[in-house]
Amino acid sequence: MEWEKIFASRASRMKASEIRELLKLLEQPDIISFAGGIPDAALFPAEEFSKAYAEVLTGPDAVPALQYSVSEGYKPLREWLVGEMGKLGIPCAPDNIFIVSGSQQGLDYIGKVLLSPKDTALVTWPTYMGALGAFNAYEPNYDKLDPMTNREPSTYAEKAAQGGGRVKFAYCVPEFSNPSGETIPRAGRENILNLAEALDIAVVEDAAYQQLRYSGETVKPILALDIERNGGDIDKTRTLYCGSFSKTLAPGLRLGYIVAAQDVIRKLVLVKQASDLHSSTVNQVVMGKVAHKIFDAQVEKIRKTYSHRRDRMLEAMTKYMPVGVEWTKPEGGMFVWVTLPKGFDGASLLAKAVRDHRIAFVPGKAFHADGTGENTIRLSFSCASDDAIETGISRLGTLIKSEMAG
Amino acid sequence: MEWEKIFASRASRMKASEIRELLKLLEQPDIISFAGGIPDAALFPAEEFSKAYAEVLTGPDAVPALQYSVSEGYKPLREWLVGEMGKLGIPCAPDNIFIVSGSQQGLDYIGKVLLSPKDTALVTWPTYMGALGAFNAYEPNYDKLDPMTNREPSTYAEKAAQGGGRVKFAYCVPEFSNPSGETIPRAGRENILNLAEALDIAVVEDAAYQQLRYSGETVKPILALDIERNGGDIDKTRTLYCGSFSKTLAPGLRLGYIVAAQDVIRKLVLVKQASDLHSSTVNQVVMGKVAHKIFDAQVEKIRKTYSHRRDRMLEAMTKYMPVGVEWTKPEGGMFVWVTLPKGFDGASLLAKAVRDHRIAFVPGKAFHADGTGENTIRLSFSCASDDAIETGISRLGTLIKSEMAG
């Protein structure tokens, strides 16, 4: 199931025949996989969820939990999120928060509201494939957002006009990005806001990994910086903060949220009304209960486990990678991003890795809006045991060395 | 909550100020409401759902139920649906079935795949407002589908071309339609297929009320007739059948399904991958369990209750409505559709009804793609007690008589 998700959900960028071939190879049980960008299911608080569903469905909440509900989302869950946002330096009200069916749906709705065909979305190189998939439905052009070395604002506007539209937003994953694992420092976040202000566009801050910091200093979310620039008033900001419960509590309930200015939220709520009415009521009620009870403890548990795995993977990389291979040192999240020497092709390396070395990863090309990045691969440590990391990275080192020698 | 849903979800057709005013009026506790197009929450099998969540989340299914899953939907649920479809004369395989987050999402995806701006969708007059809301996002034109008196196919194509696009599909609710309560007879369904074949377009069959027949003879779904025309092979058909669990088991889990040819399903699955990955895994697993166990008994229970309420409402209409008022006699579903004498305006009647007579209904104009239908209103009997029906319809009769006299 993991594999189908990884590849099939990238279908907009991969040929069906390629997917089928990969799936076939990857069904073999002895493969050590660093490919899945998914949380470790062993960490899901199944018992707490079980208790919460029972409590909700046998009590006075049963009727509203099973009935139709409002499109903006279950109010107690939004109220709980107000408290969490406050901790991140994002003062807001429930009307600034909108519950969606996973942050992927948030990205889709943002594309639907903001993008017309030939408009331009600014994205990092590489960027989250799921975001490209969501935006692609609205037929935009892409231009390269580089937080530390952005071009003159006018050059973005001119290029967008040449493409037949306007720049509509800048999208990024500022913390422990999927796929790069990198964090945008405060200066980069301010640069993004400067650019957005100059172009008068929105900023889409994908905060899917927000809670998963294992080391390094906390950096304020872009929305928090935007609020500071606007005298503490979130309703004057241009940033849409997309959060998720998938990486902390569980993805199977499909719940995420968008935090933004009220007039932005109202537009997004209208999109949801027309497209699926609202997210599952019972899941929202249950998520509210479980989050209220165990969120901090659950985040602590996940951080401890993933932090250990990150450390093991970085140690193994140092031990087994030959000179000429570079990789990121993430302060959190799930991913290490590897840049191989020029001439390497991640996709053909994957085929050899699976066939001859029984290991797997995701080739990096699919994360690039312009089809570059052939010599990059993404490794995920979120589901890997110590043994799998030691053995798998050792095998990867052997493969890369033999390719370099050949 | 009911009210907010009814009006807010129609926002694409109603002004925000109108909605706010109505909501204020309707919050008053003594209103007898025939407005809500929602199922009676007292009938939800809350205990069965509670048991199923507990079973799933404390057993071996807990991990997959909380994890990411495949976009086409949970296979055992699709397999159960194969059996149900078979009973309706729709032989199919799991690959012909796609799980969506409520049939509303199915309509949105169909619009996303089939409609470009200025294309034409054929819809009945009146039609389900939620369908218009979903399709409106893709900026189509509408033309009038009248199953019993359709125009020459070429006139539809010509009108669509004048509008700047092509006819893409015909949409209808063939059984106990929302809002009209009417059923399209077999001849009308064949006419729709004839028209669709002549224009080479899809048919979108919204079967949200399929299970709620209380009297009259069963008519085969359009998809079943389409399959018959194609030698029993669903993969050669042009009909997209949209089903729902919201009117039988519960809307709060947000689960529906589309049944169609495999190549159509594959396209829709790609849309879902990019837009929200998949519907809630745990809800799909639970719905599969509950449906397997109690579906037929639950449908029987609902039929008995709603059938009784329909009978009471039709009796009360006969008793209290003055000459000059007409209404439909539905064989199932939740709605009676009332046509008032020319000159009546449903929206201003509603204001008076709420203010002076403490009753509510939905004005019919919002169900018309061309903004006509001022003199129509929709009454729902699904949540009304015998007393509420007797008193409420009596008050409605008094109001209408006084308006006719004035």
Task: Please write the tens of the pLDDT for every residue from B169-197.
Answer: 999 999 999 999 999 999 999 999 999 99
Among A117, A116, A91, A386, CA closest to A234: A91
**Position A325 in a domain:** yes
For residue A168, report the phi and psi dihedrals to the nearest 5 degrees: -110, -35
The sign of the dihedral angle between the CA atoms of B36, B38, B41, B42 is positive
The string of DSSP letters for A228-257 reads: HHTTT-GGG--EEEEEESTTTT-STT--EE
User: How far, in Å, CA of B188 to CA of A299, rounded?
Assistant: 58
CB contact under 8 A, B270 and A68: no
Q: What is the pLDDT of residue B112?
A: 97
CB pairs under 8 A between A and B: 221
Q: What is the pLDDT of residues A200-235, one digit of tens each?
A: 999 999 999 999 999 999 999 999 999 999 999 999
Q: What is the pLDDT of residue A10?
A: 41
Nearest by CB: B104 against A46, A64, A277: A277
Q: What is the pLDDT of residue B19?
A: 62
Q: Which residue of A has its CA nearest to B11?
A: A270
CB contact under 8 A, B130 and A277: yes
CB contact under 8 A, B46 and A57: yes
Average pLDDT estimate for B162-170: 98
* Final residue before a domain boundary, out of B232, B266, B293: B293
CA angle A18, A23, A28 (to 5 degrees): 140
CB contact under 8 A, A53 and B54: yes
What region does A139 belong to: left with phi over 0, alpha with psi -120 to 50, or beta? left
User: How far, in Å, CA of B190 to CA of B172, rounded?
Assistant: 13
Q: What is the pLDDT of residue A366?
A: 82
Q: Which of the four pLDDT bands, split at 50, 70 and 90, describes residue B37?
A: confident
Q: Output the average pLDDT for chain B.
A: 93
Q: What is the pLDDT of residues A56-78, one digit of tens each?
A: 999 999 999 999 999 999 999 99
Among B266, B276, B220, B275, CA closest to B97: B266
B150 and B278, same domain (yes or no): yes
User: How far, in Å, CA of B9 to CA of B397, rounded?
Assistant: 28
**Looking at the predicted structure, is the pLDDT value of residue B18 above 70?**
no
Report the percentage of chain B scoring pLDDT > 70. 94
User: How far, in Å, CA of B265 to CA of B241, rounded?
Assistant: 11
Q: Which of the four pLDDT bands, split at 50, 70 and 90, describes residue A14?
A: low
A175 and A214, same domain (yes or no): yes
CB contact under 8 A, B71 and A8: yes
Q: Output the average pLDDT for chain A.
A: 93
Is residue A244 within 8 angstroms of chain B, CB to CB?
Answer: no
Chain B positions in Cβ-Cβ contact with residue A44 (cut-off 8 Å)? 62-63, 66-67
Best mutation target, B19, B49, B277, B302, to test chain A (most A CBs within 10 A): B277
B171 and B227, same domain (yes or no): yes
- Measured CA to CA in angstroms, residue B17 lies from A69, B23, B31, B54 at distances of 21, 10, 21, 44
For residue A169, report the phi and psi dihedrals to the nearest 5 degrees: -160, 165
Q: What is the pLDDT of residues B326-352, one digit of tens each?
A: 999 999 999 999 999 999 999 889 989
Q: What is the three-class DSSP state of B388?
A: helix
With beta carbons less than 8 A apart as the criterion, state whether B85 and B97 touch.
yes
Chain A positions in Cβ-Cβ contact with residue B69 (cut-off 8 Å)? 1, 5, 252
Examine the predicted complex and report whether its ipTM is higher than 0.90.
yes
B225 and B346, same domain (yes or no): no
Alpha carbon B32 to chain centroid, angstroms: 23
Q: How many domains does chain A have?
A: 2
Average pLDDT estimate for B97-104: 97
Q: What is the pLDDT of residues A108-139, one digit of tens each?
A: 999 999 999 999 999 999 999 999 999 999 99
Best mutation target, B12, B56, B63, B66, to test chain A (most A CBs within 10 A): B66
User: How far, in Å, CA of A280 to CA of A221, rounded?
Assistant: 28
Which residues make Cβ contacts (< 8 Å) with residue B111, sequence separation at least 6? B121, B134, B135, B137, B138, B140
* Final residue before a domain boundary, out of A248, A273, A293: A293
**Looking at the predicted structure, is the pLDDT value of residue A23 above 90?**
no
A93 and A231, same domain (yes or no): yes
B354 and B342, same domain (yes or no): yes
Q: Which residue of B has its CA nearest to A130?
A: B274
Strand partners of residue A398? none
Decide: residue A60, CB within 10 A, 0-12 exposed, 13-18 middle, 19+ buried.
exposed
**Looking at the predicted structure, is the pLDDT value of residue B247 above 80?**
yes
Four-point Cα dihedral A72, A77, A78, A79, nearest 10: 140
Amino acid code (one letter) for B260: A
Q: What is the pLDDT of residues A390-400, one digit of tens each?
A: 999 999 999 99
B223 and B153, same domain (yes or no): yes
CB contact under 8 A, B67 and A112: no
Nearest by CB: B253 against A64, A274, A282: A282
Chain A positions in Cβ-Cβ contact with residue B12 (cut-off 8 Å)? 270, 273-274
Chain B positions in Cβ-Cβ contact with residue A68 (cut-off 8 Å)? 1-2, 5, 38, 246, 251-252
B214 and B81, same domain (yes or no): yes
**Position A345 in a domain:** yes
Considering only residues A304 and B366, tell me which one the structure prediction assigns the higher pLDDT: A304
User: How far, in Å, CA of A379 to CA of A37, rounded?
Assistant: 9
A284 and A233, same domain (yes or no): yes
For residue A202, report the phi and psi dihedrals to the nearest 5 degrees: -85, 160
CB contact under 8 A, B2 and A68: yes
Strand partners of residue A171? A123, A204
Q: What is the pLDDT of residues A343-389, one digit of tens each?
A: 999 988 998 999 899 999 999 988 988 888 999 999 999 999 999 99
**Position A111 in a domain:** yes
Helices (H), ranges, A321-345:
none
Average pLDDT estimate for A28-53: 93
Chain A positions in Cβ-Cβ contact with residue B11 (cut-off 8 Å)? 270, 273
Q: What is the pLDDT of residues A276-317, one digit of tens each?
A: 999 999 999 999 999 999 999 999 999 999 999 999 999 999
Chain A positions in Cβ-Cβ contact with residue B254 (cut-off 8 Å)? 101, 276-281
CB contact under 8 A, A9 and B282: no
User: How far, in Å, CA of A383 to CA of A247, rounded?
Assistant: 12
Q: At what angle do helices B386-405 and B281-320 cross, to 10 degrees?
A: 50
- Where do we find the tokens 């009753």? B359
B36 and B81, same domain (yes or no): no
**Position A103 in a domain:** yes
Structure tokens at A136: 């692609």
Report the percentage of chain A scoring pLDDT > 70. 94
Is residue A280 within 8 angstroms of chain B, CB to CB?
Answer: yes
CB contact under 8 A, A47 and B38: no
Structure tokens at B30: 């003594």
Q: What is the pLDDT of residues A42-54, one digit of tens each?
A: 999 999 999 999 9
Average pLDDT estimate for B112-131: 95
Q: What is the three-class DSSP state of B249?
A: coil
> Which CATH number does the domain housing residue A377 bear?
3.90.1150.10
* Final residue before a domain boundary, out of A273, A293, A313: A293
Q: Which of the four pLDDT bands, split at 50, 70 and 90, describes residue A18?
A: low
- Measured CA to CA in angstroms, residue B313 lies from B307, B380, B389 at distances of 10, 9, 6
Structure tokens at A316: 């193994």
Decide: residue B301, CB within 10 A, 0-12 exposed, 13-18 middle, 19+ buried.
middle
Among A260, A237, A287, CA closest to A101: A287
Q: What is the pLDDT of residue B355?
A: 87
Average pLDDT estimate for A33-40: 91
Q: What is the pLDDT of residue B321?
A: 98
CB contact under 8 A, A136 and B9: no
Average pLDDT estimate for B76-103: 98
Alpha carbon B274 to chain centroid, angstroms: 25
**Position A50 in a domain:** no
CB contact under 8 A, B42 and A63: yes
**Position A51 in a domain:** no
Q: What is the pLDDT of residue B330?
A: 98
Q: What is the pLDDT of residue B24?
A: 72
Q: Which residue of B has its CA nearest to A108?
A: B275
**Looking at the predicted structure, is the pLDDT value of residue B1 above 50?**
no
A116 and A203, same domain (yes or no): yes
Among A366, A355, A389, A335, CA closest to A125: A366
**Position A53 in a domain:** no
Q: What is the pLDDT of residue B241?
A: 98
Among B121, B125, B146, CA closest to B136: B121
Q: Please give the order of strands across the beta sheet that includes A167-172.
A: A97-100, A256-259, A239-244, A202-206, A167-172, A120-123, A141-144
User: How far, in Å, CA of B113 to CA of A221, rounded?
Assistant: 36
Amino acid code (one letter) for A160: A
A258 and A335, same domain (yes or no): no
Domain limits for position B13: 2-44+297-405
Average pLDDT estimate for B160-168: 98
CB contact under 8 A, B11 and A273: yes
Q: What is the pLDDT of residues B230-240, one digit of tens each?
A: 999 999 999 99
Nearest by CB: A68 against B12, B251, B283: B251
Q: What is the pLDDT of residue A344?
A: 95
